[in-house]
A = this chain, B = another copy of it.
Amino acid sequence: MIRRKGLTSVELAKLAGVSSATISRAFSNDPAIKPETRERVLALAAEHGFRPNAMARSLNNSRSRLVALVVNTVANPAEAEGLDLLIHRLQERELMPLLLCCANHEDRGHLMRIASTYQVDHVVLYSDAVSVDDALDIFRSATLIVASSEPLEGRDLFDVRLDASAATAQIVDHLVGQGRRHFVYLSGRASSHIDKQRMRWFADALERHGMAFEIVEHGDYSYESGYKEAVLLLRRLRPDVLVCANDLMAIGAQDAATLLGLKIGDDLAIVGHDGVSLSNWDCHSITTVMPPHGVISDALIELIERPPTAPPEQHVVNCMVRWRQSTGPAPR
């Protein structure tokens, strides 16, 4: 447990009989170094456990290889499952993720300001709890990449946006085709852009059939709130279809409906959002709108790897439908 400091590049240089510049060149794949000296230096470095100091390194070339990931909470599988893939991709490229969890933190600005002192190269804004403007303001010297759903009318940002309009329409069409007419939306947090988006997609899909849905009190994206709201709701209404802001609420609602004796997929169809892995479990089996995590991660990585001079670029990623038993027999 002795805190022994490693050696520095000048010390290693002395051992190798070269200058510290040569050490630096060996580690930065500089073509101006003779391959054999490079090998020799790297071997010696490995032997002595030398690794260049990333702090010193980033101090003078101002590239930290740090990527700040701004999320709500890692405890929500919807975020965590996408995040896990992105982190994996970053690590493959030797980029270091700096995690900012905003959910239970009153002062997100402060949190981001601290992170910005580490000279992060990129910021991926997953959370919709912080505004794009705040993030831009605080992370001035990093490239901001927005992966949340705040509407960004005509703003020139790096942006990967989810589009669930087609997937939502697919589901609505199917349910209308089943003869269902009474649609209800179980909403998430009122302040959430994501929620507004999902509601909008749903409304648009229904409108094409000349229909509309009823809005219900807001939950908070949790299982418990889905359960509670569904109980209140089903006491006064008998809808055909319950579209939920996310999968956790959908599962909660499903439990409530089951308790009230409704037959899921028959009396009542339930639709979720996020495609979390547990939506596919036997006991749940929720039809859901799922973002393609792989495609999203790839798009984010592509934006991250862009040369810093490249112009902003927008990606639109289409969501997919996962048909499960909560909407009865799948189409086709």
Contacts and interface: CB of A to CB of B under 8 A. Distances in A.
Contacts of A52: 117
A87 B62 contact: no
A129 interface: no
Interface string A160-191: 00000000000000000000000000000000
A88 B59 contact: no
A226 to B, nearest CB: 10
A88 B117 contact: no
A88 B236 CA distance: 40
Nearest to A119: B55
A315 interface: no
Instruction: Bin the interface of chain A by size.
Output: 35 or more
A111 B312 CA distance: 30
Most chain B beta carbons < 10 A, residue from A49, A74, A119, A143: A74
Contacts of A283: 251, 254-255, 258, 283-284
Contact of A119 (B54, B254, B281): B54
A115 B94 CA distance: 9
Nearest to A254: B283
B308 A282 contact: no
A203 B168 CA distance: 51
A105 B84 contact: no
Nearest to A116: B51
Contact of A87 (B74, B84, B223): B74
Given A1-B143, A64-B55, A278 B223 contact: yes
Contacts of A73: 84
B59 A55 contact: yes
Interface in A108-167: 111, 113-119, 140-144, 156-158
A29 interface: no
Interface stretch (A3-11, A204-212, A267-275, A294-302): A3-11
A98 interface: yes
A52 B114 CA distance: 10
B80 A75 contact: yes
A202 interface: no
Nearest to A52: B117
A233 interface: no
Nearest to A142: B3
Given A117-B52, A255-B282, A282-B259, A6 B140 contact: yes
User: Which 9 A-B pairs give the minimum distances between C-beta atoms?
Assistant: A54-B117, A75-B84, A255-B282, A54-B118, A74-B80, A55-B55, A99-B99, A55-B59, A75-B81
Given A54-B119, A84-B101, 7 more contacts: A3-B142, A51-B116, A54-B117, A55-B55, A55-B56, A77-B77, A252-B281
Interface of A: 1, 3-6, 49, 51-59, 62, 64, 66, 69, 73-75, 77, 80-81, 83-84, 87-88, 91, 94, 96-101, 103-105, 111, 113-119, 140-144, 156-158, 223, 227, 251-252, 254-255, 258-259, 277-278, 281-284, 308, 312
8 contacts: A54-B118, A55-B64, A66-B118, A74-B83, A91-B111, A97-B99, A223-B277, A258-B283
